[in-house]
Structure 1
Amino acid sequence: MTRTTTSPGRTARIPGSKSITNRAALLAAAAQGTSRLRAPLVSDDTLAFRTALTGLGVPVRATDDDTSWEITGGGRGPTGDADVWCNDAGTAARFLPPFAATGTGRFTFDGSPQLRARPLRPLADALTRLGADVRTESGASLPLTVRASGLDGGRIELDSSLSSQYLTGLLMAAPLMRTPLEVGARDLVSRPYIDMTIALMRRFGAEVSESDGTLRVGTRPYRATDLHIEPDASTASYVFAAAAVTGTTITVPGLGRDSLQGDLRFVEALRKAGADVEIGADATTVTGTGRLRGGFDLDMGEISDTFMTLAAIAPLADAPVTIRGIGHARLKESDRIAAVAKNLVAAGIRVEEGRDRITVHPGVPAPTRIACHRDHRIAMAFTVLGLAAAPGTITLDDPACVGKTFPGFHTELRRLFPAYEPQEEHR
């Protein structure tokens, strides 16, 4: 494993959490009064979400430097008719239709071809059972139209095996329904994201409880709240992995043991791989030890947005690494298991792929141009592999796709690792 030289003990500048930013923005829109979100993520996905909210009639005022957003909600769902463009943002396509359905009017949601390919049937079926008139493309995807006259609440069962975002959207809309909502979530994936949703809902005043696998949300109204957005733990996985493969030390302030984000658990995977990890009250630090251990089998189903980070650096380990429980990652921005496997094979690495798993064997990456599939996480994960490979070994066919969640990724990596040569970010 080749080390990339940098000063010891560098502090990474990680932007705000996308997951928290978009959840908090919707909760602010549903609350009565004006909420302030401090240090929100400003990226393609969050700007698409913010624009979608304004399209639904929600006033949003951002400071000139975009370090604070003020969102004024009316304590109810939207009214009127609107065509809402979600761009590539899966959170917009899954969180906003339930919110719209609690209001009154006709709301049509659409997005990019990439987003149109992602499934919506479980959400559409749930909204129909709660009293909405929902029409989708072929019954399964965008465009989706909601003819809204409020949602009834009550008890439903929700297939949550494809994505936790359907459940999140319903839970966040629940305080605006006519009666309390009870949801039995079958085969729930990515449970930490639901825990995050519940914590944020409670921060905005909602009453949420859980018993015997059923989540119950009362109709107590949301209240306006000021919230500071913590750094994005999924994004931090790339700099933590970079520390591990280059034998350096990277600290991310603002991500400590009380983080709302389950993806901070990625550092435990790095600990298993031989890195030194310290999770403090207000920061997390990873130090590479000069070698990467393999020979383990890890279920990353609950933190699947970070499995690509581990898989991309796994060729540098001293024994095979198997990652399991990630079948739902095939339904993200790309088929992420297939995309990782094909790119590693193209780089001369032996890979075994299953429906919900991938095994990566040790090897020296050969020069290859990574097919990003317009997927920000593919691009960032393989960039980390490139830090430990010979210069120029790893290049990206779409370096600018990182703008979905971290527009300044290449610039920040160059600041942390001066030897890194950023690629042109033109689409």
Structure 2
Amino acid sequence: MDILINNFPSPVSKLTLLDPNGMECKDFKSPTLLLGFDMGGDIKALNDNALSKFFSSLILYDSLIMIDTDFRKLISFIGFDDCFTLLKERKVKLIYSEVDFSMEFLNKNGSKLKLNTDIKPIPLLPYMETNFQSYTERKSIKSEFIQSIENAMINKVNDSETDKLNSLIIDNLKKDILNKEISNQFLNGVESIDCMNPYQTTSVLRLINTLKGFSLQEKYNVGCIVQDSFSKDYLSSKLSFYTRKPIIDKVDYFSDVCSIKKIPNIYDLYRRKLISINDIINISNENKAKKFNEWFNDDNLTKEDILFALTKSHKNSHLLKSIRWTLPNIAGLVNPLLGLASSFCDSFLVDKVINGWSPNIFLDDVLKEKIDVLVQKKEKEHQRTLIIKRFGSIKPNEKCPCQSGLKFKKCHGAF
């Protein structure tokens, strides 16, 4: 199963002003266009949250779908080499969408703006062809990298689809503007896309980005989408006016379970260099991981089903004896409307558990244990490096300087 990563990493924290020649300008004296929007709050925390979801998604899904301009941002966050690895391992699929929006200034002092749809983002392929050396000096891998991008590209959105997508987004935006409750909460009271103040435009551009993500999700028939809290709040407000199935973010469910089971945050381990991108890919490619993901991403499973099943140990024998009674009844207590879903979970999960399989086999015996081994290995390597740096060259059969009484090769010198 694939997942669409939208608003990733979190959108720019500063606004970009373009002059009549398309060059960035620093003031409001002569700009014609405004790009981007202010996220507000702690930008680092927002980026860390987006990256945390990205790394969890690498474990949970076969591949991640991103707009190619967002992939450029990812390179700046985790580096060229790791992004190249993701491409080669087919963990990322890329979309080039010509749908983009900016704001056009109506006067020189920048007090009035209107929506503009004429700006087209530069596709990743020609951009990397031109700017490859700004990312790495290894010219020999340029052809392979460019080919990997081409292999990752999903069919380009053509002109007619672009116009249709543009119209769909603008139509939804206009409906939200007419809805005073939504307009006041998310658009700072915008009354017209043809005349806004700068503060209102940042809200409009942010909401457009959310609508763009939902539109692409529908176009590519992606079951799950990762959005930020703004997008989730917006969707929740829409559900009070329209009858629609909520968009489920199972990555959040997975994070909750990992927290309960004391499984470390994948991105935090990666950031601290305790696990590598290859370690994460290897874990996600395990057969037990694939079986877990097939179960986890079934549409019939509710949050209550998932949390109940995954916060129990598969090694707990009394679970096998009582689960047929417990699961549907607990689910019923949580939500009386879950009868159908819980009966599905009962028939699927219980049969698997009794036959020796549980979704916790992956969490407990693969993910947690492999992370523990990798972390211990890295910490041991770190300690070995410190000892050697402190004492210089140490022969394998010499006593370890840490005073453990063991030979160095059996202590800090062991691999």
Regarding TM over 0.5, the answer is no
Q: Pick the structure with more helix per residue.
A: 2
* The structure with more radius of gyration: 2
Q: Report the TM-score when normalising by structure 2.
A: 0.26
Q: Report the TM-score when normalising by structure 1.
A: 0.26
Q: Pick the structure with more strand per residue.
A: 1
